[in-house]
Amino acid sequence: MAQFQEVEKQSIMHPKPPGLTLHYGTAGLRTNAKHLDHAMFRMGLLATLRSKNTKATIGVMVTASHNPEEDNGLKLIDPMGEMMAPAWEHYATQLANADDLLTVLKDIIEKEAINMSQEANVFVGKDTRSSSARLSQAVLDGVSALDGHSKDYGLVTTPQLHYMVRCQNTKGKYGEATLDGYYSKLCQAFIQLTKNASNRTDDQKLLSVDGANGIGALKVREMESHLKKELQISLFNDGSQGKLNYQCGADFVKVQQKPPTGFKMNPGERYCSFDGDADRIVYYYTDSEGQFHLLDGDKIATLMSTFLKELLEQAGLNLKVAVVQTAYANGSSTHYLENTMKVIVRCAKTGVKHLHHAAQEFDVAVYFESNGHGTVLFSEAAEEKICQLAEDPNINDEKKRAALLLQNTINVINQTVGDAISDMLFIEAILAIKGMSVQQWDAVYADLPNRQLKVKVADRRAIDTTDAERRAVSPPGMQDTVDSLVNKYKQARSFVRPSGTEDIVRVYAEADTQESADALAHEVSLAVY
Ligand code: NG1
Ligand code: ZN
């Protein structure tokens, strides 16, 4: 077939380095940008096949998120804007590593019974890395080699590209598949929400944003005029001087538990950090003693779910709110959500695709990883009930207000994936409506002291886990040892799991004091060998 001849011809321009093995994991493909050209071309081919297979537009985002500037990577986006289906992740790994490209390609076509005369459409986006332009061109080459149509969105955040894919495949029902459409939808909803905030002072409208010297900074600038001064953003680490993700960004702040470099913090003021592709966000402030306070994904999930639960009650809607977390969620947050807020809490395996999947079972579900990656999902039935109520002329003012707030909440959220910009607007709206300061938000519950450690082992795959990674089933006896160590401490919890993105094992421990959490993490890490 002519298509395969073209693939063969083009693939010579994108040779695979000998001996290199890549793995399409939780974070897609990710490694040093020098080794990725062939993989990008091949993922262009795969996205085209996936598009033919689903008869829908597929997305390809070129980014390595919070990794250093020297790295790059890619994530594939399925028709509803969600991460690509797990069965195809396996094809991605096979294709990236194939020595005989055409054989693997034909194999996938046969297995999935793909009609090669079906039209294919692929949306491509990239982050600000210096390697991204060249690598996204390799993706576009892959798409055209198989006769697919592509649309190059250029520089966009990861969640913006997810949004475009969903808009395109739902024929505008979700919004317009343009950047302008994205900003208009989110910002109009934000402005409507903040109209419900009484006595909002100019000071409360101020927010400092650390753009991680990446794409998020560029896009915040682009969005500013749509906000009509209802949110006044002071942007730092905007890429004009510093290096991408270097001593800044959400991952740095969360892992180091300290402010990013690039600015001076004023006590009591609100700050947030995006990561390198703007799909994660964390908030923080310093108190009058100069002590740093982090509000991570767990605090964000608590704020959002509380707000939604209260509104649903006011609206008289019988819809269940759930929160989906991972094993890394601070025990205090889980305790507060279950016992004080009385919301359903579920624990999913690490990696947003698992959280997203678990969240789809509920009417309204807030999902967040502690590191700040998360969003809110509304079931179709829940959206319908909310919209019907908002339009019902026979309801009282309180119900009407709650229904309209819920409707605007749906519009401010990017339901396809965690989105720093959308999450930020929703958080800012909640704080404004509740008249809540960042300190008051922080005081809702106190985090249990905790420690995370990385342990290098000979074979991390020897550790197998169950119960959403909270218990190890192999190697034999390891869990019993962890249990006996945990029993020595108060309010303690600990677990061990192999990382899906690094060649290490992660140990997590929490306890009533920092000393105990540190000691427990240390003792458990010794038991991992
Ligand atoms: P691994 O390396 O599997 O722990 C890390 C993060 C995840 C997620 C993925 C993908 C932690 C403990 N783990 O996974 O939350 O963000 O990377 O980027 O933060
Ligand atoms: Zn990211």
Q: What is the pLDDT of residues 174-229, one digit of tens each?
A: 999 999 999 999 999 999 999 999 888 888 999 999 999 999 999 999 999 999 99
Distance 250 CA to ligand 2 centre (A): 9
pLDDT band with cut points at 50, 70 and 90 for residue 344: very high
What's the pLDDT score for residue 201? Answer: 87
Q: How far apart are CA 528 and CA 481, in angstroms?
A: 9
What's the pLDDT score for residue 363? Answer: 97
DSSP codes joined into one string, 24-46: -BTTBEEEEGGG-HHHHHHHHHH
- What domains does the chain contain, in order, with CATH numbers? 2-155 (3.40.120.10), 181-295 (3.40.120), 297-419 (3.40.120.10), 450-527 (3.30.310.50)
Q: How far apart are CA 472 and CA 495, in angstroms?
A: 8
Q: Is the peptide bond before 475 cis (omega within 30 degrees of 0)?
A: yes
Average pLDDT over residues 117-133: 98
What's the pLDDT score for residue 264? Answer: 87
At 26-42, the pLDDT tens digits run 889 999 999 999 999 99
Is 298 part of any known ligand binding site?
no
Is 286 part of any known ligand binding site?
no
Q: How far apart are CA 238 and CA 210, in angstroms?
A: 7
At 466-490, the pLDDT tens digits run 999 999 999 999 999 999 999 999 9
Q: How far apart are CA 157 and CA 152, in angstroms?
A: 13
Q: How far apart are CA 433 and CA 307, in angstroms?
A: 10
Q: Which residues line ligand 1 (CB under 6 A)?
A: 26-27, 328, 350-351, 369, 371, 373, 499-502, 506
Pocket test for ligand 1, best of 257, 499, 507 (most atoms within 8 A of CB): 499
What ipTM is given for this predicted complex?
Answer: 0.97
Count of Cβ atoms closer than 10 Å to residue 289 Cβ: 6
pLDDT band with cut points at 50, 70 and 90 for residue 457: confident
What's the pLDDT score for residue 306? Answer: 98
**Ligand 2 ion local residues (Cβ < 5 A):** 65, 275, 277, 279
Residue 62: pLDDT over 90: yes
Atom 19, ligand 1: residue with shortest CA distance: 371
Residue 137: pLDDT over 80: yes
Residue 336: pLDDT over 80: yes
Distance 350 CA to ligand 1 centre (A): 6
At 145-176, the pLDDT tens digits run 999 999 999 999 999 999 999 999 999 899 99
Q: How far apart are CA 329 and CA 335, in angstroms?
A: 10
pLDDT band with cut points at 50, 70 and 90 for residue 97: very high
What's the pLDDT score for residue 262? Answer: 81
Count of Cβ atoms closer than 10 Å to residue 203 Cβ: 8
Q: Is 144 a catalytic residue?
A: no
How many residues would you count in the chain?
Answer: 529
What's the pLDDT score for residue 251? Answer: 96
pLDDT band with cut points at 50, 70 and 90 for residue 2: confident
**Claim: this prediction has a pTM higher than 0.90:** yes
pLDDT band with cut points at 50, 70 and 90 for residue 263: confident
